[in-house]
Amino acid sequence: MKISRIWTAFVLAFFALGCAPAPAEEAAVPVRPAIEPPVGVSIIYGQSLTESALIGGMAMDPNTGESVEGFFMWANGDYVPGVGVQMCQCEFVPTGFDTENYLSVSFRAEVEVRPIPLTVLEEPVCMRHIEYGERVSRAFLSGGICADPSGNEVAGSWAFADGNAEPAVGFMTAAAVFVPEDSFHYDEAKCAVEVECVPCTPDVAVRCSAAWPGQPLSACVLEGWAAGMDGCVITGFFAFRDGGLVPEGDGTSYDVTFSPDDSVNYLPVTVKVPVSFGVRNIFVEAVLETEYGRPASEGILTVRAVDENGLPVDGKLKYDDRFSGVLAPDGQDSIGALFIPSDPSFGGEIPVSVKVVYR
């Protein structure tokens, strides 16, 4: 009887152990994926992030490196970012079977916001033609209207893209640029305008330095220079229009014509020159030492003036009134100037070609 009870207890314990439920497994903890951020497609200022598609990017298991299923999205799609490259809040959201195993991740993604493009509704026009040797900027632009994508007119100003260009004689097409007043939020606009360049009418300085009674004008001695728009001397020759005419008296003026060697880009010029007998001669040498593109006033000017006996002559030198003060960047041999002697017996202003030496 005692053995029976022991056996019964053993059997009951065996079945109790065999039927007991197994301990429950612990639930898996979601993992934060490793993110390679995507990049937003560029948008225009005023557009929200929803209009910028996210391209590229990847989410991976930080332990295995396997790709995690899901999608990228802007955290605040209604946000309107400013102009420039912006870093905006973005999210990765797991999908499918990976929803339970991985967490959503917040981070920042890059998006470029471009200025608002403009449309040229009316092109500007040139207010004047320019002369050969003048810069395109001297044509001066007038008018022209630009508008944003909504058709609203935008305030700003027009200028030539290369205002320093010096075109050849004839018609040329130049690029004009519209610069908006709000240049941060609006982009520039460009168009083509027609510029007319006409031959230059040179500025001349000439005097009759020697004349003799009873001799024709062709026997008189003329000295002077002719200068283009930049004040630099151009080649050519001076001659009395009626060289066979004999001067009637001392101090009478006659027509003198300058004929340029370059008759395509420069026009002939006729001025009246007085013919005086016994004018005192003066010889002027002037040298300007300067750097390319620097104003003449910043250079070192050396002037030497003497009379026919080699004696020094007092006076001052001034540049051609049309000379801009900035020498051409490609260098010039000489520029036009006038020497004004203190003694009026030398006959007033003396034309001088200033030799230019570049350091």
Query: pLDDT tens digits for 106-124?
Result: 999 999 999 999 999 999 9
**Burial profile 11-27: b = 16 or more Cβ within 10 angstroms, e = fewer:** eeeeeeeeeeeeeeeee
Across 87-97, average pLDDT:
95
- 10 Å CB burial of residue 227 (0-12, 13-18, 19+) is buried
pLDDT of residue 4 exceeding 60: no
- The Cα–Cα gap between 174 and 171 comes to 10
- Mean pLDDT over 71-78 rounds to 96
**CATH T-level fold of 34-114:** Immunoglobulin-like (2.60.40)
The encoded tokens of residue 169 equal 């004689």
Where does the chain hold its CATH 2.60.40 domain(s)? 34-114
Q: Model confidence over 133-174: pLDDT tens digits?
A: 999 999 999 999 999 999 999 999 999 999 999 999 999 999
pTM, two decimals, is 0.69
Q: Do strands 350-358 and 282-290 pair parallel, antiparallel, or not at all (unpaired)?
A: parallel
- Asked if residue 316 has pLDDT above 60, the reply is yes
| pLDDT tier at 330, thresholds 50, 70, 90 | low
Backbone angles phi, psi at 319, to 5 degrees: -85, 160
Average pLDDT, the chain: 88
Section 341-353 average pLDDT: 83
Widest distance between CA atoms in the chain:
177
Among candidates 126, 125, 195, which has minimal Cα distance to 166? 195
> Closest Cα partner for 56 from 96, 111, 1?
111
In terms of Cβ atoms closer than 10 Å to its own Cβ (0-12, 13-18, 19+), residue 216 is middle
Torsion 300-306-311-317 (CA) sign: negative
For residue 27, pLDDT over 80 is answered with no
